[in-house]
């Protein structure tokens, strides 16, 4: 990209606060015409917030956003759109009663009441756009009948119809198969060929890296690295953010687990959300007392996998627990059978005290057994003993995470599923959680299925590791082989 060409988009010192939370802090970057910039970073790093402030969905707290030298920061989104900024939504928003052709024609209409009706050339232009994005074969169909990939193409077609100078593309690869990712990448490259500037946000780091001219990595709202995608992904700070640092392991060989048939067996599990493929032929197993980690970037399918095991979403394939097929079982029945999930969102009762949340977890236990369990948990998480009378919503994020895990343990699970327990936690809290998991591992027969982005947290607590990428298991093995065989491709 010619550095002498003036930037189309210039972002300088962009900051966005929500009360005391700083979602984006002093972010600066520029994009030139015909350039694709990829915004990457772990979940919660501020990427989507930055995009929303540029589009005018959220006003910036401070800083400058200029399009071709004109300040657009703080303008409402409809005015930003009229100035030449197009947004390709992650979630399709078509007019379901209109055909594909009619949806594109609506996007072609001018934003003036005096020009509400389409001119004679609009039909031809709409058909040409449909052809460009690969929708000619379904042009007379309505959106509810389309495949998921075609719905994404329709969002692109609507953006093309507005003839934007700058295109913001939010999570373009979410829910697409590997072949569809390639086709969609070619469509996004067409914007570059037209001289547009493109800002791309996606959790599929490898697909983003293969597409963009430059990548900008964010973490906790701040810029951490920028440059050629390959260089950014090799950057030590970026790798530490994604991988967490040095990888260590204290795994037990699978041969040490004496159950002939694993306690949990997932066989060829598949999950579809509407028309988005969220899980594809995933198979894994967990022995009684074994700690298994499923690592993958945000959006890989970890939560979907856990929800399928817990009976929260319908799935294809087969899931067996203690030799019994769980197909058709309710989530409550599965929980009573010994599979307890601690969700990423924690789902605490905020207006209830710590003790009341714990008592709810153990409400099926006899009084004496519940008291004994509480005493054991207060040894595991001493801070909760001191916070017993405090409302859950007033706890810190780390304390809430401890409470969520403790409440799950109150149910005396045989298999504890932990979904992203480290998300957004300070290092001192991570150390407390790490010690608690190690104590569980050494002193109980509980099996643990841990889903994590943070490899450095996941590996020390794993006897075996699965890597989930784009809805598929792409690697399995002991943690000591991860760094040699899988770490380089994890990003």
Residues 229 and 365 in one domain: no
Task: Let me know if residue 2 belongs to a domain.
Answer: no
Length of the chain: 491
pLDDT digits (tens, 9 = 90+) for 223-236: 989 999 888 888 87
Within-domain flag for 196: yes
Instruction: Give the SS3 label for residue 266.
Output: strand
Q: Which of 362, 369, 315, 311 is nearest to 339 (CA)?
A: 311
In a domain, 14, yes or no: yes
Distance CA 356, CA 53 (A): 40
Residue 103 belongs to some domain of the structure: yes
- Distance between CA atoms of 106 and 142, rounded to whole angstroms? 14
Domain that holds residue 221: 9-243
Domain match, 273 and 216 both: no
In a domain, 420, yes or no: yes
Do the domain assignments include residue 206?
A: yes
CA dist 58 and 436 (Å) reads 40
Q: Does the global pTM surpass 0.75?
A: no
Do 36 and 164 lie in one domain? The reply is yes
Same domain for 160 and 20: yes
pLDDT, residue 115, reads 45
Q: 215, 243, 271 — which closes off a domain?
A: 243
Rounded to an integer, what distance in angstroms lies between the CA atom of residue 290 and that of residue 164? 53
Separation CA 345–CA 20 (nearest Å): 20
Same-domain pairing of 238 and 288: no
Indicate the number of domains in the chain.
Answer: 2
Phi, psi of 361 (to 5 degrees): -65, -30
Report the C-alpha gap between 362 and 347 in whole angstroms.
16
Residue 298 has which token pair?
A: 């945000």
Low-confidence stretches of the chain (pLDDT beneath 70): 1-4, 43-44, 90-91, 110-120, 175, 177-178, 203-204, 240-250, 424-428, 488-491
Is the residue at 350 inside a domain? yes
pLDDT tens digits, one per residue of 267-287: 999 999 877 788 999 999 999
Whether residue 260 sits in one domain with residue 374: yes
Q: Could you tell me the CATH number of the domain that includes residue 27?
A: 3.40.50.300
Residues 237 and 258 in one domain: no
| Nearest in space to 463 (alpha carbons), one of 250, 157, 146, 319 | 250
In a domain, 122, yes or no: yes
CA 338/CA 133 separation, integer angstroms:
49
Q: Ramachandran region of residue 44, left (φ > 0), alpha (ψ -120 to 50) or beta?
A: left
Pair (301, 239) in one structural domain: no
Same domain, 280 and 182: no
Q: Which residue in this structure is represented by tokens 């019994």?
A: 324
Last residue of a domain, one of 243, 263, 283: 243
Q: Do residues 159 and 291 share a domain?
A: no
User: 313 and 165, same structural domain?
Assistant: no
Q: Which of 243, 266, 285 is the last residue of a domain?
A: 243
- Co-location of 75 and 127 in the same domain: yes
């Amino acid at each position: 990209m010619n550095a002498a060409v003036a930037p189309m988009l210039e972002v300088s010192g962009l900051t966005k606060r929500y009360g005391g939370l700083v979602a984006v802090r002093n972010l600066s970057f520029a994009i030139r015409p015909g350039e694709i910039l990829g915004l990457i970073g772990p979940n919660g790093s501020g990427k989507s917030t930055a995009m929303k402030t540029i589009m005018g969905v959220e006003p910036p707290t401070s800083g400058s956003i200029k399009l071709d030298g004109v300040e657009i920061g703080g303008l409402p989104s409809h005015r930003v759109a009229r100035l030449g900024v197009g947004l390709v939504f992650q979630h399709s928003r078509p007019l379901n009663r209109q055909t594909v052709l009619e949806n594109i024609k609506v996007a072609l209409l001018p934003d003036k009441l005096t020009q509400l009706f389409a001119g004679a050339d609009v039909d031809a232009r709409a058909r040409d756009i449909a052809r460009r994005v690969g929708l000619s074969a379904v042009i007379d169909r309505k959106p509810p009948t389309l495949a998921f990939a075609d719905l994404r193409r329709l969002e692109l077609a609507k953006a093309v119809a507005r003839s934007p100078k700058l295109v913001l593309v939010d999570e373009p690869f979410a829910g697409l198969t590997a072949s569809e990712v390639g086709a969609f990448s070619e469509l996004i490259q067409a914007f570059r060929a037209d001289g547009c500037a493109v800002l791309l946000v996606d959790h599929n780091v490898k697909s983003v890296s293969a597409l963009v001219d430059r990548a900008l990595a964010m973490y906790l709202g701040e810029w951490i690295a920028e440059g050629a995608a390959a260089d950014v992904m090799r950057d030590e700070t970026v790798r530490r953010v994604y991988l967490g640092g040095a990888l260590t392991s204290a795994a037990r060989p699978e041969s040490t687990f004496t159950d002939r048939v694993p306690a949990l067996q997932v066989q060829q599990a598949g999950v579809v959300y509407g028309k988005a493929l969220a899980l594809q032929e995933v198979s894994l197993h967990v022995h009684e007392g074994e700690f298994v980690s499923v690592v993958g970037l945000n959006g890989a399918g970890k939560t979907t996998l856990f929800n399928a095991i817990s009976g929260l979403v319908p799935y294809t394939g087969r899931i067996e627990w203690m030799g019994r097929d769980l197909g058709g079982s309710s989530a409550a029945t599965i929980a009573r059978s010994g599979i307890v999930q601690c969700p990423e969102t924690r789902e605490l009762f905020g207006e209830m005290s710590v003790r009341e949340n714990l008592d709810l977890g153990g409400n099926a236990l006899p009084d004496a057994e519940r008291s004994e369990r509480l005493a054991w948990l207060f040894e595991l998480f001493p801070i909760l003993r001191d916070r017993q009378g405090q409302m859950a919503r007033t706890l810190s994020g780390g304390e809430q995470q401890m409470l969520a895990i403790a409440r799950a343990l109150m149910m005396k699970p045989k298999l504890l599923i932990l979904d992203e327990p480290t998300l957004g936690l300070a290092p001192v809290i991570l150390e407390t959680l790490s010690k608690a998991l190690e104590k569980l591992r050494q002193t109980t027969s509980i099996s643990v299925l841990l889903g994590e982005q943070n490899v450095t947290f996941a590996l020390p607590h794993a006897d075996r590791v699965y890597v989930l990428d784009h809805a598929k298991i792409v690697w399995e093995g002991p943690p000591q082989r991860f760094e040699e065989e899988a770490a380089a491709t994890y990003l």
